A and B are shown apart, each in its own frame.
Chain A
Amino acid sequence: DGGITQSPKYLFRKEGQNVTLSCEQNLNHDAMYWYRQDPGQGLRLIYYSQIVNDFQKGDIAEGYSVSREKKESFPLTVTSAQKNPTAFYLCASSIGARDGTEAFFGQGTRLTVV
């Protein structure tokens, strides 16, 4: 079945550590996105990529980094510079070629700083 796979589902990080969240899709979508979800704040865009080897900052990119070396993969690294990383992280993808196309979401990764 086609879809988006995020791993791990739960992740614990010590303060000062970098962690990488995985996102893989087999939908043959060009565009991929990372969102952060906090209670009462909806989803906020961290980074997005419309094509391989290219990505842009979203609204809250500070303390995060991404890469897009393969069409199927868009990993997110939460660096030690991110002061409040505890949140639910959602990866999404879309066809990307046209405006108005919907995004398909993975099941999310819950990151907790301990």
Chain B
Amino acid sequence: AQSVTQLGSHVSVSEGALVLLRCNYSSSVPPYLFWYVQYPNQGLQLLLKYTTGATLVKGINGFEAEFKKSETSFHLTKPSAHMSDAAEYFCAVSGNTGRRALTFGSGTRLQVQP
């Protein structure tokens, strides 16, 4: 079975500060990893994904994530937070298990202080 653990249900940063949202995965097969963002009462929007190849993945809105197999991690970062980044962020995993549905973490709510 595959699973994702997001450390920290709430993260607060100041505007302009570094954003770091943590995600660790468990998978018996090479994983495919995703980060999604959700604004209140809306659906999820894909930020970025890792499938194969380059381990540093760049996404939309200045976010990026690095796949580290040795640490089973896929942390999301952004060098400088903006007020509009305040939202909930979900890490997800899928793999070659025959079940292509994504398995999600419990989410991290990001607050950005002025």
Query: Is this pair of chains taken from one and the same complex?
Result: yes
Q: Chain A residues in contact with chain B, CB under 8 A?
A: 4, 31, 33, 35, 40-45, 48, 50, 56, 58, 88, 90, 92, 94, 96, 99-108, 110
Of the candidates A45, A90, A94, the one whose C-beta lies within 8 Å of that of B44 is: A90
With both beta carbons as reference points, the residue of chain B lying nearest to A98 in the complex is identified as B100
B90 at the interface (CB under 8 A from A): yes
Q: What's the nearest-Cβ distance from chain B to residue A6, in Å?
A: 8
Of the candidates A31, A42, A50, A108, the one whose C-beta lies within 8 Å of that of B43 is: A108
- Contact yes or no, A33 B107, CB < 8 A: no
Q: What's the nearest-Cβ distance from chain B to residue A68, in Å?
A: 14
- Contact yes or no, B42 A40, CB < 8 A: no
Q: Chain B residues in contact with chain A, CB under 8 A?
A: 6, 9, 32, 34, 36, 41-46, 49, 51-52, 90, 94-96, 99-107
User: Most chain-A CB neighbours within 10 Å: which of B44, B104, B107?
Assistant: B44
Q: Is the interface of A mostly helix, strand, loop or mixed?
A: strand
- Contact yes or no, A42 B90, CB < 8 A: yes
- Contact yes or no, A101 B100, CB < 8 A: yes
- Contact yes or no, A102 B100, CB < 8 A: no
With contacts A99-B96, A100-B51, A108-B41 taken as known, whether A58 is within 8 angstroms of B32 at the C-beta atoms is no
- Contact yes or no, B34 A102, CB < 8 A: yes
- Contact yes or no, A33 B101, CB < 8 A: yes
Of the candidates B36, B41, B44, B102, the one whose C-beta lies within 8 Å of that of A110 is: B41
Q: What's the nearest-Cβ distance from chain B to residue A55, in Å?
A: 11
List, sorted by A's number, 26 A–B pairs whose CB atoms are closer than 8 Å: A31-B101, A33-B102, A35-B104, A40-B107, A41-B106, A42-B104, A42-B105, A42-B107, A43-B90, A48-B99, A48-B100, A58-B101, A99-B94, A99-B95, A100-B32, A100-B49, A100-B52, A100-B94, A101-B100, A102-B34, A102-B46, A103-B44, A105-B36, A106-B43, A107-B43, A108-B41
With both beta carbons as reference points, the residue of chain B lying nearest to A50 in the complex is identified as B100
Apart from A42-B90, A45-B103, A56-B99, list 14 A-B contacts with CB within 8 A.
Answer: A40-B9, A40-B107, A42-B6, A42-B104, A48-B101, A50-B100, A58-B101, A90-B44, A99-B96, A102-B34, A102-B49, A104-B46, A108-B41, A110-B41
